[in-house]
Amino acid sequence: MSGRRDSHDRDTRGRTEPTLGRLDDLDRPATPPDDGLPHIVVDGPRRSGGAAPPPRSGRTPPRKRGWLIPVLVLVLIGAGTALWLQQDRLRNMVPATELNDTLAQANHALDEGRLDGTNGDSARELFEKARDQQPDSDQARDGLRRVGQAEVARADAALNAGRLDEAEAALNVARELLGGGSDVEQLSQRLSQARNPQDRTASLIDQAQAAFAAGKLDGDDGAGALYRRVLDADKSNAVAARGLDKVGGGLAAQARQALADGDKAKANALVDRIAILVPGYGDLPSLRAMLSETKKQDDQAVKTLVQQGNDAMRAGRFTGSGDDNALARFRAALAADPDNADAKAGLGQVAQALIVQANASLDSEDDDQASRLLDQAEKLAPKSAELAAARARIGGDAKVRTPVDTVRGADAQDGLAEASMAVSPEQKAKVADLVRRAQNAATRGDIMDPPGDSAYDLYRNALAIDGNDPAARAGLQGLPTQVEKQMQQAVASGNVQRAENLYATLSDLAPGDTSQGELRHRLGSAWIDNALQRAGQGDRQGAFQALERARRYAPDDPRLQSAYERIATGR
């Protein structure tokens, strides 16, 4: 179609008649709606030697987008390269459920002591599996290091118990995992010496003789301990036996000198060491007899001082400037026997008597006198629960005294008007929260520790806000009873160390409580049981340490001496 319009398409008045358009355009893409204006088609330039392109309607020709394909290709190549370079980082960002499960199983096996094996469930195997799953896993590498350290500990324990094959197997695993190290090498040397007892015996005897010549009889590297190690391995070694007799003679001389100097504690310790190192020493019975006679004399003197202190207590002479009072007598008894339980209880009774007097002064509104009495009690029993409760009363029972004519609405009267210090609702809520936390802490056994969060501190904090709060006061005063129950449970379950800690707490909270004497004896008996148990497991040193604890709490227990003899002779 050309750009010319026939004359019949336009009338003489310039009106455009509607047309149907070209039927050929029906299969072309939709065009914008016709606005009724004339269509103008401009023929493009013709190519030489070719036919003119078919005329188009008034639409803009579509642009070519061939450049998009190369750009998309470049973008895809760049993204792929970035992903390939960052694959390790991206892998770490994705949750590794299987790896985490393997690490959890490995840690559980390590906690249970399943260090190595061939069934696939040991700590080493599982950590190695985790390392295979992710070669750069720090947790897997650290886990294998911890397995190696545990194998070192296992080798040490097996070597001490004489299980040489087990020690060697554990050392081999440790060396593989740790690549050596000072601990591994030291254990290897010890194992080598254990494999060659003759060389080891000669070395120990040389060391013992050198220690004896230097005057070093006791201690882990002293002549006595070194000779003892030789005899433990070879009971027929005559050189070690003679050497131990010489050590016994040297320690016996030191014990007699200690008795002459009045140092009974040192003399006792030396005689106990002789019994451990040289249980068959000939002069041991006479040394025991000397100590026993000296102890009887001392015990009688201390007993007399304690009795005099109790008499002064009954007479109401708690304290004073002279020595005719309970406090002076009990202190004199402790100077002669620092571990005397009766004298310690006496000091606690003096403190309790002072607290009772302070409470009476508070009832009489004599706060100054109460403070002075509590200051004296605090020097004797600084952690007493009754002391803390009485201290709180000084603040909680305080009155605000103002002249009558300054009090609005008060009746006219002579003297002073008293108005109790009010506790706000917010403070009451704070006190209730502190009491709740204190009760929970006491149930957990956190009586005096940790500082600030213990039952003792929480109750005191509550009373610092409201000294008259009944729940806080009752909770604080009831702590000794809770501690006593927990201690009895610890003794019954064989947890003697916890029982000892609880006994110390009880002594602090309730000094002077006469019922603690029985608890003290039960604790000493429990330490004797612990000593015999350790001896049965081959831990002689730990057994003797346990007996020292037992002596502190139950020096008169008839089982104590027999336990010493049984452990020393290995029966």
Q: In sequence order, what DSSP letters do the residues of 470-522 get, joined into one string?
A: HHHHHHHHTHHHHHHHHHHHHHHTT-HHHHHHHHHHHHHHSTT-TTHHHHHHH
CATH class of 199-282: mainly alpha
* Nearest Cα to Cα of residue 167 among 178, 176, 180, 158: 158
From the candidate CATH numbers 1.10.260, 1.25.40, 1.20.1630, 3.40.50, the one assigned to the domain spanning 478-571: 1.25.40
Is the peptide bond preceding residue 470 cis, with omega within 30 degrees of 0?
no
**Three-state secondary-structure class, residue 10:** strand
Q: Which residues contact 139 (CB under 8 A, 6 or more apart)?
A: 103, 130
Pick out the chain residues at pLDDT < 70.
1-67, 71, 73, 78-96, 193, 195-200, 395-422, 569-571
Q: So where are the chain's domains? A: 95-195, 199-282, 478-571
Show the CA angle centred on residue 472, arms to residues 471 and 476, nearest 5°. 115
CATH fold match for the domains 95-195 and 199-282: yes
Burial of 400 (0-12, 13-18, 19+ CB in 10 A): exposed
Cα–Cα distance, 34 to 24 (Å, whole number): 16
**Three-state secondary-structure class, residue 32:** coil
The secondary structure of residue 114, as a DSSP letter, is -
* pLDDT value of residue 64: 53
The CATH-assigned architecture of domain 95-195 is: Alpha Horseshoe (1.25)
**333 in Cβ contact with 340 (< 8 Å):** yes
* pLDDT value of residue 128: 87
Tokens 């001392």 sit on residue: 298
